[in-house]
């Protein structure tokens, strides 16, 4: 069968994600659809290297779509990709109990994908080289350097050729969906205002800070002398910052956290999102201030607060465009769902007994 286990979303996630080294993410109903007002820089790190691949004992047929089979290995890969997307948003223990749901979600998604690809082939839709090149350039641009981009591809076991193939498949599907679902009905101001009025909890912004940090990792087997040396080194960096050295540049040069690629920027976070000592220090700092050396289970930190916002209700004018985008995407998803239902109604879809 044609396999198109798309890695684009994961690549983009890894490119903009902040470190999970100091995060203890909260979980709730908004995990699946995050608050419209949330900052993308506050996403948890989802490095593929941290994910535990599923072990396949035997490859079996899970379903067939108009005679094209979907194998258990395809489903397991899709489950692994879903797991990586949820990583940091949902506790690991809960992820285990969610596996049957993830299995169903992955299988149905692969069936939809196969239906779309069959229709793409039937209509003879092909992507242009320029469109593929443009998307690759956009993804690569999310990384600090071309070397980091290539390193991420290697870490995921994806060649540039495979990435080009997957992007091409996505462009084909997008072209098909645009031609079949038509333009989305425009979202009006009254609809935006109604959504804002009917969902007040989504626009309550808790107290939060925007901070950067420099982390020097430590391990349990290090001697007191080694630990003291690392702490002293970090204290030395603080003195350099006091004399005018750039915090972000020092983070890029010395931090052990993946956030160093962004100068240590962790984005905005609220109380309960970080480990205790880190959070306590960050929320006590004034805007622009740098902490003394802070010790957590991850190591030693210097923290710089760029902004400190009190709890508030975000006014409509600040989120109007985000609500419009959200509702527009919602309408588009409904149109796609309706089109997929139409494809399913004329397709021969067979499930194995195990599924």
CATH number at residue 20: 1.10.4030.10
pLDDT at 97: 85
The pLDDT tens digits for 268-278 are 999 988 999 99
**Domain-located, residue 196:** no
Are both 284 and 225 inside the same structural domain? yes
pLDDT at 355: 63
Are both 303 and 323 inside the same structural domain? no
Mean pLDDT of all residues in 277-296 = 95
CATH number at residue 301: 3.10.50.40
| pLDDT tier at 87, thresholds 50, 70, 90 | low
Percent pLDDT > 70 in the chain is 83
**Domain-located, residue 194:** no
Q: What is the pTM of this model?
A: 0.61
At CB < 8 A and 24+ separation, what contacts does 174-183 make?
Answer: 175/120, 175/125, 175/127, 176/116, 176/119, 176/120, 176/123, 176/125, 177/116, 177/336, 177/339, 180/339, 181/332, 181/335, 181/336, 181/338, 181/339, 182/335
Are both 28 and 100 inside the same structural domain? yes
| pLDDT tier at 46, thresholds 50, 70, 90 | very low
Are both 39 and 161 inside the same structural domain? yes
Are both 40 and 162 inside the same structural domain? yes
Structural domain count of the chain? 2
The pLDDT tens digits for 99-156 are 889 999 999 999 999 999 999 999 999 999 999 999 999 988 988 888 988 888 888 8
pLDDT at 199: 96
Are both 64 and 172 inside the same structural domain? yes
Are both 74 and 214 inside the same structural domain? no
Mean pLDDT over the full length of the chain? 83
Are both 21 and 110 inside the same structural domain? yes
Residue 299 pLDDT > 70 = yes
> Residue 286: which domain range?
207-310
pLDDT at 58: 79
């Amino acid at each position: 069968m044609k396999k198109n286990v798309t890695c684009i979303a994961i690549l983009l996630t890894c490119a903009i994600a902040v470190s999970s080294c100091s995060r203890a993410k909260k979980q709730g109903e908004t995990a699946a659809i995050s608050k419209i007002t949330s900052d993308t820089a506050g996403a948890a790190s989802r490095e593929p290297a941290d994910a535990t691949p599923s072990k396949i004992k035997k490859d079996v047929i899970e379903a067939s779509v108009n005679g094209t089979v979907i194998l258990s290995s395809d489903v397991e890969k899709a489950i692994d990709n879903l797991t990586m997307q949820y990583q940091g948003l949902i506790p690991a223990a809960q992820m285990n109990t969610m596996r049957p749901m993830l299995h169903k979600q992955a299988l149905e998604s692969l069936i939809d994908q196969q239906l779309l690809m069959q229709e793409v082939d039937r209509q003879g839709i092909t992507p242009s080289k320029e469109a593929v090149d443009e998307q690759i350039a956009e993804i690569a641009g999310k990384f600090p350097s071309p070397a980091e981009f290539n390193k991420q591809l290697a870490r995921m076991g994806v060649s540039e050729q495979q990435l080009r193939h997957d992007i091409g498949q996505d462009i084909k599907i997008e072209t098909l969906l645009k031609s079949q679902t038509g333009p989305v009905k425009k979202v009006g101001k009254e609809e935006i205002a109604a959504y804002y009025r009917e969902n007040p909890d989504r626009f309550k912004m808790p107290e939060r800070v925007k901070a950067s940090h420099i982390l020097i990792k430590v391990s349990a087997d290090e001697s007191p002398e080694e630990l003291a040396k690392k702490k002293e080194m970090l204290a030395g960096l603080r003195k350099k910052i006091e004399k005018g050295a750039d915090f972000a540049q020092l983070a890029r040069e010395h931090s052990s956290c993946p956030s160093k690629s962004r100068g240590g920027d962790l984005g905005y976070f609220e109380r309960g999102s970080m480990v205790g000592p880190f959070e306590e220090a960050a929320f006590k700092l004034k805007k622009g201030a740098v902490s003394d050396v802070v010790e957590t289970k991850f190591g030693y930190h210097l923290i710089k607060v760029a902004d400190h916002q009190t709890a508030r209700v975000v006014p409509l004018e600040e989120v109007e465009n985000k609500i419009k985008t959200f509702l527009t995407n919602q309408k588009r998803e409904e149109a796609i769902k309706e089109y997929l239902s139409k494809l399913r109604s004329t397709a021969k879809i067979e499930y194995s007994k195990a599924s």
